[in-house]
Amino acid sequence: MKQQKLNGKTHRFFDEDPYMKSFKANVISCTECGGEYLTLLDATAFFPEAGGQPSDTGTITLVSDVTVFNVKEVRENGGELFHVTDKPVPCGKIIGSINFKKRYERMRNHSGEHLLSGFAHTMFGCTNVGFHLNDETVTVDFDKHLTADQLLQIEKAVNDVIAENVRITSYYPQPTELAELDYRSKLELTKNVRIVEIGEYDRCACCAPHVASTAEIGMLVITDSISYKGGTRLNMVCGKNAFKASRQALMNVREISSQLSAKPSETAIAVARFIRQTEEEKAKSAAMCNAYIALRVDSIAPTDGNIVIFEPDLDRNSLRRLVDRAADKCGGICAGFCGSDEDGWSYVLISRTVDLKAEANLLNEKMNGKGGGTSRMIQGSASAPKAVLKNIF
C-alpha cells in the first residue's frame, strides 16, 4: 500500500499504478449534498467516471476503529475527486480498497478499444466519435461506414497484436513534446495531456487506467454492428466477456446444427436452406389460402341483408380479404370472425352501404368487443360466444 501527502489536489495513484488495489490516505472533508455524502481524500486509487468509462467502486475503512464505508462512485470536480459514500466519513486516516476485479476487466476492454479504434483509423481512415464502456460490452461509434469484411480485418489485426504481447505505456509529455506527437484525440488538448501508447500501433490521449501489455486483453470480439448517423456503431468485448460471448456463440451454433441436422461448420448453409424452404412453403400456403378464399366467396349466395362468416383457422389478414370480397354480395354488413369461444374472436366488418364508423360503438357493445376503423370497415376483438355473434347479424 502507498501513502501520499496532501498536495492541494487529489493525488491520483491510478495514474502511477493502475494495478493498485488498496492505498492509505487522509479524509479531508465529507459533505452532504442532495442526500449524498461526498468524501474528499488527499489521495486515491479510485478512478472517477470519465471519458465514457464508469468510476471504480469499493470501500473506505477508518484506521482508528475499522469502520467500513461503501464507495458507490467517484466524481471529479475542479481537479478534486469526490467519493460518493453510503454514510458520512469522519476526518482521519483511512485505507481505501477498490473492486479490482471489476477495474481489471474494464482495463482490458478499454485497452482493446484503443487497439480497435487505432486500426480503424490507420486502415480505413475512421475517427472514433463515441465511446461507452460498461461491465457487459463496449460501444464504439465511427464516423464512416465499415463493411462486414472491413470489421473482420480490424478484428484480426487487433488480435494479432494481442498475441504479440506488446507493451502498453502511459505518460504526460511536455507541451513542446506534445506539439510534435501524432496521436488520436476527440478534443483539442494543450496541457496536462496523458498519452497511452501501444507499441508502434496506437497513440491516444486518455485519462483511464490500462493494462501493461496487449496479452492481458486476452482477445477481442466484435459482437455486432449497425449503421449509425452516417457511420458505424459497433459493440465489442474483451477478456472474460469475450470468452463468454464466444462460448455463447458456439453453444448457439451447436444447437442450430442439432436442430437442422447439419455439421456445425455448415450451419449457415443449413439455415439458408431452411429459410428458402420456409419461404417456398409460405408461398404454397398463400396460394392455397387464396384458392380457398375464392371458393368460399363463390359458395356464398348474394343477399340484400347481412352475411356472417366464421373461419376459426384463418389469420386476420386472410379473413379481411375474404370479407372484402364477400361484401360485394350483400346489401348490408359482411361480418367475418376468426378464433374461438374459448380464446375470443377477431372480427372484420365491411359494408358498401352502412356507415360502420357511426355504428361501431353499438356493435362493439352487442359483441362485448372493442375496435374501430372507417365508415366502410371496422375491425377488432369480441368475447361474445359464436351463437350471440351470429344472432347479431
Long-range contact set of residues 247-256: C-beta below 8 Å, sequence gap at least 24: none
Do 325 and 249 fall within a single domain?
Answer: no
- Counting every residue written for the chain, the total comes to 393
Do 121 and 87 fall within a single domain?
Answer: no
Q: Of 46, 70, 98, which one is at a domain's C-terminal end?
A: 98
CATH code at position 370:
3.10.310.40
**Contact between 129 and 143 (Cβ < 8 Å):** yes
pLDDT value at 252 more than 80: yes
* Cell numbers placing 95: 485505507
Is there a domain that residue 6 lies in? no
CATH code at position 70:
2.40.30.130
pLDDT value of residue 190? 64
Where in the chain does DSSP place strands (E)?
A: 11-12, 22-33, 36-41, 43-44, 58-62, 68-77, 80-85, 92-98, 128-133, 138-142, 168-171, 195-198, 202-205, 220-228, 231-238, 307-310, 333-340, 344-351, 369-373, 377-382
List pLDDT tens digits, range 82-104: 999 999 999 999 999 999 999 99
Do 28 and 54 fall within a single domain?
Answer: yes
List pLDDT tens digits, range 272-307: 999 999 999 999 999 999 999 999 999 999 999 999
Q: What is the dihedral of CA 229, 109, 47, 86, to 10 degrees?
A: 90
* Cell numbers placing 70: 461503501
Do 326 and 344 fall within a single domain?
Answer: yes
Is there a domain that residue 269 lies in? yes
pLDDT value of residue 77? 87
Is there a domain that residue 2 lies in? no
Mean pLDDT, range 231-251, rounded to an integer: 95
What is this structure's pTM? 0.75
Domain count, the chain: 4
* Cell numbers placing 329: 354480395
Return d(Cα 315, Cα 108) in angstroms, integer: 52
Do 272 and 235 fall within a single domain?
Answer: no
Residues of the domain holding 329: 300-392
Do 295 and 182 fall within a single domain?
Answer: no
Return d(Cα 153, Cα 151) in angstroms, integer: 5
pLDDT value of residue 50? 85
* Cell numbers placing 102: 471489476
Return the sign of the alpha-carbon dihedral for residues 323, 324, 329, 334.
positive
Do 268 and 370 fall within a single domain?
Answer: no
Do 165 and 288 fall within a single domain?
Answer: no
More confident residue, 373 or 187: 373
Q: Which residues, in sequence order, are bridge partners of residue 346?
A: 338, 381
Is there a domain that residue 388 lies in? yes
Is there a domain that residue 5 lies in? no
Q: Of 98, 122, 157, which one is at a domain's C-terminal end?
A: 98
Return d(Cα 119, Cα 153) in angstroms, integer: 9
**Contact between 94 and 24 (Cβ < 8 Å):** yes
